[in-house]
Amino acid sequence: MGYHIGDKMKANVELYFEKTFDFLPELAVFATSYLVKKSFTRHTTPPENIQNSIRFFFHNVFESKNKSKQSQGVSQRPYVRVFPSSQPHESRFKKNKQVNGIAVFVDSEYLKKILGNDAAHFQYLFDNDNNFLIEEIMTDDILRTANELIGELDAGILKDFFYRLKVMELLYNLFLSLKKRANSKPLKLSQSDIAAIYKVRDALILSLQKSPSMEALKKIAGLNENKMRQLFIQIFGMGIYDYFQYQRITEAARLLREEQLSVSEVGYQLGFENLSHFTRTFEKIIGMKPKKYAMKLG
């Protein structure tokens, strides 16, 4: 598909697998998993064989083969980033980190065509002067579809048909989530704006026991409060406090699921002084009370 990973990538990673699905000139998919042996940076480049493409990168969609070396944190949670392939972007790779994911490159006119009448809701994706970046939390349906795609790397009969359908299903489930976002005119983004908002995001994730104050977040971002709030919603699709609570409860679910802590232990560990409040918040986000969630897992 004319996508070059570069010499740095080849020299500094241990490749577990890679697979390309070509449906040119409208669509191409690149799935990969590798371990970073030495820290490095690289500039991403657009694929040569798809003009004016939009990149959808589904991060952390399948099991790590190097769990013992993985650090817990936001970087390891499944999420999707969407941005123009032509947008300058520098990726940083840290030693001993496993990277796995699926990159989908879609011609913007083709995407507009398959969206049909709904394309008007996503006009920000198609404005040529808009340097957008979107990060979306990965739903269970997105994660399931991604794993079905990766799990059938050697599909037999009608394999091209199967892969194209699965890629369409992956994009469909993503756009179901994106459709819930407010349809407002986005602010123009600079690289410094993006870096500032990700500093705010990281500060929230590193302090799940207690949300940093708005004053502290403004200092971290170096932005006024109004712009910081607007850009945060634009990139992540929800407000700062809502995002904090979502990540907090996602971590609570992980602690119940993987660490097998009690409901009260999880609530207090994440800074909930009132377990009733913890239960209500958990149910609102996960769809069931934490005790029932834990029992379902057991």
Instruction: State the burial class of residue 268 (Cβ atoms within 10 Å of its Cβ: 0-12, 13-18, 19+).
Output: middle
- For residues 37 and 169, membership in a common domain is answered with yes
- For residues 38 and 157, membership in a common domain is answered with yes
CATH number of residue 293's parent domain: 1.10.10.60
The least confident of 49-58, 73-82, 250-259, 286-295 is 73-82
- For residues 146 and 254, membership in a common domain is answered with no
- For residues 107 and 254, membership in a common domain is answered with no
Of 143, 158, 178, which residue is a domain's last? 178
pLDDT digit string, tens, across residues 136-161: 999 889 999 998 888 765 656 788 88
What pLDDT was estimated at residue 63?
60
pLDDT digit string, tens, across residues 2-26: 555 667 788 899 998 888 888 989 9
pLDDT digit string, tens, across residues 53-72: 999 999 988 765 554 444 44
- For residues 246 and 138, membership in a common domain is answered with no
Q: How many domains does the chain have?
A: 2
68 assigned to some structural domain: yes
Domain of residue 57 covers 7-178
Whole-model pTM: value is 0.86
- For residues 278 and 151, membership in a common domain is answered with no
- For residues 29 and 171, membership in a common domain is answered with yes
Of 128, 159, 178, which residue is a domain's last? 178
163 assigned to some structural domain: yes
What mean pLDDT comes out for the span 221-230? 96
26 assigned to some structural domain: yes
Most confident by average pLDDT, 16-25, 78-87, 155-164, 169-178 = 169-178
CATH number of residue 109's parent domain: 2.60.120
- For residues 83 and 153, membership in a common domain is answered with yes
- For residues 139 and 262, membership in a common domain is answered with no
Comparison of pLDDT for 148 and 175, the residue scoring more: 175
137 assigned to some structural domain: yes
- For residues 23 and 136, membership in a common domain is answered with yes
- For residues 67 and 154, membership in a common domain is answered with yes
- For residues 174 and 32, membership in a common domain is answered with yes
